[in-house]
Amino acid sequence: MKRVHHIFVTGVIAALLVSQARASTPAQHYFLQTGADLEQVCANPVDARNIQPTERERLLVCGSYIQGYLSHYALVRGELANAPFCLPQTGVSGEQIRVLLVTLLQRKPQIRDLPASVDLATSIAWAYGCSGAASTSAQGGTPKPAAQ
């Protein structure tokens, strides 16, 4: 029952974050069913120095999805028999995770049809595998993906 409560609370938080990000322009809809959908929402902006409002909204949806996923993981990780990944003690940013996801989906296009949450978990495990937690850089930057 405790786990169901955690999942429900995390789902409500993620829904609120996504709906808040979408409130500015209700005409744009994002469907985050597959990795391809998530890749499209999380793609790099055309011009990082001059991000347009539609791109800002798209990236907010991406960030909300990532934060919701990581919040859910934080709630249930103690109940998991085997952790799917081991984040560094110093933490990671949503931007680091976004870059990992986009990189994985560009390198492995065959997994784009998997559920978005599976592709996100795979990208995190790819860089932060528990057996190779030393794959992160000393400066705390984006880790180098583990050997494929």
Q: Which long-range contacts (CB under 8 A, 24 or more apart) does 21-24 make?
A: 21/57, 21/60, 21/61, 21/63, 21/64, 22/57, 22/61, 24/53, 24/57
Q: Quote the CA–CA distance of 114 and 95 in Å, as a whole number.
A: 22
Position 3 scores a pLDDT of 60
pLDDT of residue 11: 54
Q: How far apart, in whole angstroms, are the C-alpha atoms of residue 122 and residue 134?
A: 18
Q: What single DSSP character describes residue 88?
A: -
Greatest Cα pair distance in the chain: 47
* pLDDT per residue of the chain (148 residues) written in tens, 0 to 9: 666 555 545 554 655 555 555 554 455 777 788 999 999 999 998 888 888 898 899 999 999 999 999 999 888 888 888 888 988 889 899 999 999 999 999 999 999 999 999 999 999 999 999 874 444 433 344 455 544 4
Q: Specify the pLDDT at position 48.
A: 83
Residues contacting residue 135 through CB under 8 Å, at least 6 positions apart: 127, 128, 129, 143, 144, 145, 146
Query: What pLDDT is stored for residue 83 in this prediction?
Result: 85
